[in-house]
Structure 1
Amino acid sequence: MSYSKRHSIFHFRSALLLALTSIWLYACQTSTEPHTPGYEYVSLETGSFRVYDVTEQRFALNGPPVTQTYQLREITTDSPIDLANGSAFRIERYRRANEQEPWQPDSVSSVRIADDQLIRTENNVAYVKLLFPPTDQLQWNGNAYNTLGEDTYQLRNTGQPFSVLNQTFPETATVIQQNDSTLVNQDKRLEVYARNVGLIYREKVQLQFCSSTPVCVGKAQIDYGIRYYMWLRSYGKL
């Protein structure tokens, strides 16, 4: 075989190898979920965990308020099911009274990202927690995937710092789920997400004020309801 013929075969094989390598690399890249700005605000890495301090105060008509303080730990595990529009990640929640007590199983929920929406299912009820990419004043129906009626959420303070306990997170996004207050009730619900961490703060205040007599109207006298606060204490990877 002549030198020119061997040289041509060598170049042909090299070009073929390069083409096959390019196809393989392209297939690997396109087989993964495309990256959308803002996904870093959600912690969906298997084995990631978050520990929260919780204060919960419940009010009832026939008795004094009951206050509880405890800790919650959430662990992201492998996807239990594959859905038509993405995988649902299993979130295992554990609870303990304080740092000296062992963790006890509390509940299980699931989280998935579909159509640039963060959807969390708790007690068989799905909520749209966040939209991507996070943008100030962005609004959506948090109950779009359940039958509880429309509930408009709004994003605020995107990219702004937020402090929780002794930690300051430089880039966060606040979801205002509701912030209404009248003479007879108050409904304030919000969640704060930090880039590369996930949920760092949750607040839920739902109170019904006394309105049975003219004397108590407008006095913010609580008949029943709840105040609930959750702060991120620590996070990491198991």
Structure 2
Amino acid sequence: MTQRYTRPLGQLLLIGSLALAAVACTKSNEETPAPENDYYPVTVGTYRTYAVTDSLWRDNVLTVQQFQFRERVAGTFTDASGQTAYNVIRSRRATATEAWQDDSTLVLLPTDRTLQQIRNNRRTVELVFPTRTGYSWNRDAYNALDTVTAQNRQYQQVGESYTVNGRTYERTVTTTDTELNTATGTTLDDGLYNVAKYRQVYAQGVGPVARVRRRFVYCGTGNCVPSKTNIYRGQVRRETLLETGNL
């Protein structure tokens, strides 16, 4: 006769409870990754202040201007597609002691898949999710510069640290652009007569922490031999994050 051993009900309940507790503990200790769109968090009442340096060349003569920009999220509205859109007001001042003067506005439309921006009536795809190093997309998919096949913005250095103004951000993504002529839709950067580059760095949980735009024209009218030491027209604008907060 085969004997069969049966645990008391109390022991079975205890074992089951311990197993469930172990599973719950394991799940609670797992790190929950931050959402991808946390690279550009948008919340009404928040602001970001940037130090701006404008370097301008005219006939190889350089002048430099320095000032500050503040971008504050002023409110929300529902756009024509039913999405929640955020109004952002850009203000400018020459020094940290002066009052802010409103300069311009833009609109941000964050979703689970993209972060879009409308500025000067032009909609651009600023970020796409998920982020992957080397991935490129059509920044102008929703505006008149759309060429259907264009891949004019690319991710670089995804997940790497970045230091600016003495602060290190542990996890960032960088985007680089192929700049276009807004009138013709053709590239501005031929590597010889013209240089046009745009680079943005976004820190997770913070948003944009650095922007650099470079545009150079090495030859004016008539016959010209381009030289990187002789800038006919040029501009380098650097925007670096100083602080963030709530108003």
> Given the two structures, how large is their TM-score scaled by the length of structure 1?
0.78
Query: Which residue of 1 is the match for residue 124 of structure 2?
Result: 127
Q: CA separation in 1, counterparts of 2:132 and 2:228? A: 38
Shift of 1:80: 2.9
Residue equivalent to 1:101: 98
Q: Which of 227, 233, 240 does residue 231 from structure 1 map onto? A: 240
- For 2:63 and 2:42, the matched residues in 1 are separated by 34
Identity between Structure 1 and Structure 2 (%): 29
1:55 aligns with 2:64: no
Structure with the higher strand share, 1 or 2: 1
Q: Name the CA shift for 1:83/1:36 in 2 (closer, same or farther; >3 Å).
A: farther
Structure 1 residues not aligned, in runs of 5+? 1-34
Q: What secondary structure, in the 3-state scheme, does the structure 1 residue paired with 2:232 have?
A: strand
Q: Deviations over 1:69-106 (max 9, x none)?
A: 10001111221333425111010111000111111111
- The residue identity in structure 2 corresponding to 1:40 is D
**Of 47, 57, 64, the match for 1:67:** 64
Answer yes or no: is the 8 Å Cα contact 1:210–1:220 preserved in 2.
no
Structure 2: which amino acid aligns with 1:163? T
In structure 2, C-alpha distance between the alignment counterparts of 1:85 and 1:154, rounded to whole Å: 28
- One-letter amino acid of the counterpart of residue 221, structure 1: N
Q: Distance in 2 between matches of 1:186 and 1:223?
A: 12
- Measured at CA, do residues 219 and 39 of structure 1 come closer, stay the same or move farther in structure 2, by a change above 3 Å? closer
> Closer, same or farther in 2 for the Cα pair 1:98/1:181, shift >3 Å?
farther
Tell me, yes or no, if structure 1 residue 162 matches structure 2 residue 162.
yes
Distance 1:123 1:190, change over 3 A: same
Taking the aligned partners of 1:114 and 1:146, their CA distance within structure 2 comes to 18
Secondary structure of the residue aligned to 1:222 is coil
Q: Secondary structure at the match of 2:226?
A: coil
Q: Aligned-pair RMSD on alpha carbons?
A: 2.2
Distance in 1, matches of 2:238 and 2:82, equals: 33
Deviation at 1:114, TM superposition (A): 4.3
1:38 to 13, 36, 39: 36
State whether structure 2 residue 172 is matched by structure 1 residue 176.
Answer: no
When normalised by structure 2's length, the TM-score is 0.75
| Equivalent residue pairs, number | 202
- For the 8 Å contact 2:136–2:151, the answer to whether it is kept is no
For residues 80 and 93 of structure 1, the distance between their equivalents in structure 2, rounded to whole angstroms, comes to 18
Letter in 1 for 2:69: L
Stretches of 4+ aligned residues off by more than 4 angstroms:
211-214
Gaps of 5+ in 2: 1-32, 180-188
Q: In structure 2, do the counterparts of structure 1 residues 98 and 108 end up closer, same or farther at CA, with 3 Å as the change threshold?
A: same
- Whether 1:194 and 2:203 are equivalent positions in the alignment is yes
Shift of 1:60: 3.2
